[in-house]
Structure 1
Amino acid sequence: MSQAAAQQQRLPEPAHSRTTVTRPRVQLGLRTRCILYGVLAAAVLTGLIALGSRGFHWFDAALIGYVVATIFAVAAVTYKYSFWLARPPTGRYWRRSWRLFFSYENFRRYTALIPLAILDLFSQQFIRRRGLYRWIMHQCIFWGVLLSCCITFPLTFGWIRMTLTPAGEHLLWFFGFPLFAFRPESVLGFLIYHALDITALLLLVGLVLAFHRRFHDLALISIQRFGFDIVPLALLLAIVVSGLALTADSAWLGGAYYWYLSLAHEVFVVLWLISLPFGKFFHLIERPATVGIELYWKTGERTAMQRCARCGEEFAPARFIEDLKKTLLEVGEDYTLRHDSSPPGPEQALWWQDLCPACKRVARGQATLAALDPEGNRFL
């Protein structure tokens, strides 16, 4: 019987002998620092709103609800994101990724990798490999939300405005500077004034596909949670429907119900913004951080590779395994596969992370057999 199997018989699962040590003072200091980051981000955004609207001169007071909710969302997202980066797992790989990014050697060798990783982030090829239906759904929702935010926020903050020129054209201003003039009845004018309707229709397609999948995919139905999975999609659907209803009411009903529809639309948007830092769509904020993980892994492939302690096959960069061991120790997890009195550490002879995925499955199977049949008769 191999050494890994023998140790697995003594220890059916990776040991978790070290308990997490709570450090209230450290946690309190970290939380306070993250709160200050959030307050600073809110103050910076408020200053940018004042600057871009020329001292709130071009700010529409009727949109104050949107602005307050956005400032709160930015503060909460900054707080949660900075707290997330302060955790040992994310913090270690975050710092390592930035060091690799600014390395001249890596820049010279992997110049094409960075734009490809960014392109993969926006095209979401990792979802495309899971299925065309899911990819189309995610692309519609991703670009619908992203483009809508890129249009809505500058309009709300007073950064974008229109003025009428003596020639009867509309002049587009951004952040207090004139950009270009256009005829409102032209194709360009139609696209500019209906840009939010176009992005809303794109988002609507993605939401319809998402709801169809949520209600018909048995694998999803069995694990989905109403508050975490359904409510965010329902809020987006309410925003889309109420926003399109505003356009329909203006174009076909003469604005008869505009006040009620605008109030409902504002309520839905505010609820979605407030829930953004704490719900499902926070992964939109987290996802860009994964660009550095690909650089971290690719650059590690040219360094020493970790060999499996059981079969001897290379399965991961040694740098990645060592960082993983250090991170596990920092969070109070000991995955060493030995029962001695030596203090745990990444330099010990055998860790669970020293086994490749195939050998981990074999070790689990051997440990299960040993637990069911300790006499060695292999009788189940």
Structure 2
Amino acid sequence: MTRRVVEIALNGVTGRMGYNQHLVRSILAIREAGGLMLPDGTLVWPEPLLVGRNADKLRDIAERHGLKRWTTSLDEALADPAIEVYFDAQLTSQRQSALRAAIGAGKHVYAEKPLAETMDDALAVARLADEAGVKGGVVQDKLFLPGLLKLRRLVEGGFFGRVLSVRGEFGYWVFEGDWQPAQRPSWNYRAEDGGGILLDMVPHWQYLLEGLLAPVRSVYAQAATHIPERFDERGERYAATADDAAYLVFELEGGVVAQINSSWAVRVHRDELVEFQVDGTLGSAVAGLWGCRVQPRAATARAVWNPDVPATEQYRAHWQTVPDNHVFDNAFKSQWEAFLAHVVVGTPFPHDLYAGARGVQLAELAVLSAREGRRIPVPEPAR
């Protein structure tokens, strides 16, 4: 067995996503499992260097988890020749410059989405990585969630026949921050800081639709700022300048129609915070983060519209639960393992920087559609 240490500069670990999903549930979880064993017998051992702006928070995280290395200087981290991989979970507005610096320092790069604030900037980062000969990837975690892995299994197994449509519902009520603390940081609701649900969620919908079914060929979007004022982390009132809800219709290659509602101003009346219903000629499925239920053509209940009598048919009772069939790992950890294998032995990794640029492209076009009130075709993205 060969032990291969991969030193990683993790930038943004003092934030909720960077700390919980990427440090604790991914990198540290891999270490707690004894490392990542590759098929060729190589044991990959990730060694994190914590990077951020707040020294006190970094010191606390390092001490809490028995880590020795942290720094508030990105330049110092990138100048260290032992660092192979740079990971970015900062604010979107700070990501592009940091990725450019990391690529310039010869580091492989892996980043949260969106990759940048504009498609041109995202493509520039991807091309820069190509020119530098370094590997790059973007987080597309939802493809690795149990419910959506089950949905992919159904697609690949031909369960749906010809897919007709997709209906997606995502969201929950984010408290305004006055009488109860908000569950999301205040920058999410300021356009000047890169906030907005279109920029945040459309890249997710792009890679999910493309990864599960087909590329998106057009988008129509209606955006709204339903809650015009919120309260920040200090309890101070501020104007919400970014959209907090988006209602989208996508046309996929092959004619599939997908409509997805995304909102931080909706109260949940569904089994999970996100659910997708896929309807096909041979069957339908409803998938969330964890669960997936199906109704095949032969077991479809006969529905008859009659508004004059109370409904007695228990429609949900006709749906069948899709079994797990194996143990699912954390979605972020699964993708980290795939990226580390890509860096160490060059295994394929489809979630590259150009995939990230396609997500930003669709978000940009959705913003344009919402502004102009029209359907926008999606051109083939440049490389």
The alignment's TM-score, normalised by the length of structure 1, stands at 0.23
Instruction: State which structure, 1 or 2, has the greater radius of gyration over its C-alpha atoms.
Output: 1
Higher helix fraction: Structure 1 or Structure 2? 1
